[in-house]
Amino acid sequence: MARSYDAILEKTALQPTRQGLRDLLENDEPELLQALTRHAYHIKTSELGRNVYFRGIIEFSNICTKDCYYCGIRKSNHLVNRYELSEEEILREARWCYENHYGSLVLQSGERRDPAFVDKIEWLLKEIKSLSQGSLGVTLSVGEQDLKTYERWFLAGAHRYLLRIETSNPRLYSSLHPKSHSWEERRRCLDYLRQSGYQVGTGFLIGVPGQTFDDMAGDILFLKEIDIDMVGMGPFIPHEETPLGSSAPFDPVRQLTLGLKMIALVRMVMKDVNIAATTALQALSPTGRELGLRAGANIIMPNVTDLAYRRGYQLYQNKPGLDENAVEQRINLEQSVEALGEKVCYGEWGDSLHFKKRQKG
Ligand code: SAM
């Protein structure tokens, strides 16, 4: 039965069209999901092997100047206890990543652009490079900044940056954000990042209210159009203290399926990029991240933030891993990756092959 999809999937992988992608996203037959997953997994393993890279994520502050309608740490959510890790705490967690042979870490926080924040990140980058003798790769995920700031941080040692555009449709973007937030500005930041020398990652909220299958098809083509190096996207999950918290009935199975289909389709279209199996998948199913690897993802970002702060970084409700410390998470994840017949590549950066090929010209 599933074989009947093979020709369509091969065609889509070679020559993706908006209509073709939309049809595949719209079709909710379980056989299609199976065929898609199988196809994408085959592409992943032939392009990148059965290798998984861990990036330890440090969610170092939930202080945010933005007010996105979907996000639990938006500035208008006054029920959140705001926190900011000290330099010492961040460096302790970075050292843990180094000592546990994670090739890279991710520094993520709410968005701030003030000089104290910019200086702190620059200082931290230099310290992290120094404590690991240059061996830890650092990805930043701290939002929109000006070109000069991106350049400073690149020079200080960051070499990858994740900035989700959230949707490729500017009209949908404006329905998800206040007027002061600009899709064009976020898009410009992706250009600044490329210009500054980073491996650039972006991604979307999947299944967010108001989004159509056509929008999602457009999202996939957007990645191709901007020639992205890394993808981090995940299903939208409501957070009750946000304007989108109760906007529509929430169907976790639908969200998970859409998330997996998007991963598979992105892998088919962008064969050699890094794709993260994000925590939002795990929030929808205990094995969500493993399913993400099966659908074509090759990156996992285990949370290494001290447990004392985890509750403060709830972007959506039921965020998993609130009580699972860094050691437990490493052991559990390693076991589940191995159970899939894949290998965790410790001590390696696992840079985007797509980026490397572009560098070589
Ligand atoms: N401030 C940085 C930025 O803007 O890129 C990074 C932190 S931000 C909280 C990280 C990502 O969380 C966002 O890009 C968004 O896609 C995701 N996120 C926020 N609220 C979410 C929700 N309710 N469901 C799923 N993902 C969500």
- pLDDT tens-digit profile of 114-124? 999 999 999 99
Q: Which residue shows structure tokens 């989108």?
A: 244
pLDDT in tens, 167-224: 999 999 999 999 999 999 999 999 999 999 999 999 999 999 999 999 999 999 999 9
Separation of 27 CA from ligand 1 center, angstroms?
27
Question: Is residue 234 within 8 Å of residue 71, measured between CB atoms?
Answer: no
**41-63 average pLDDT score:** 98
Q: E strands within the chain?
A: 51-61, 104-109, 137-141, 160-162, 199-202, 205-206, 230-231, 234-235, 274-275, 299-300, 343-344
Tokens matching residue 285: 């199913």
pLDDT at 284 over 70: yes
Helix (H, G, I), strand (E, B) or coil at 69: coil
- Here the tokens at position 284 are 């929808």
Average pLDDT over residues 145-164: 98
In percent, the amount of the chain with pLDDT more than 90 equals 94
Query: Tell me, what's the pLDDT at 1?
Result: 46
Dist. CA 87 → ligand 1 center (Å):
23
- Architecture field, domain 47-249+297-360: Alpha-Beta Barrel (3.20)
Is pLDDT at 31 greater than 80 in this prediction?
yes
Q: Which of 152, 231, 160, 232 is nearest to 194 (CA)?
A: 160
**Is 118 near ligand 1, meaning CB less than 6 Å away?**
no
247 vs 287, more confident: 287
Joined tokens for residue 276: 């993260």
Of the pLDDT bands very low, low, confident and very high (cuts 50, 70, 90), residue 231 is very high
Both tokens assigned to 252: 């976790």
Pocket test for ligand 1, best of 66, 71, 83, 167 (most atoms within 8 A of CB): 71
Residue spans per domain, the chain: 47-249+297-360
What's the CA-to-centroid distance between 169 and ligand 1, angstroms? 17
pLDDT for 3:
57
Select from 162, 202, 205 the residue to mutate for testing ligand 1; criterion: most ligand atoms less than 8 Å from CB: 205
Residue 249 binned pLDDT confidence (cut-offs 50, 70, 90): confident
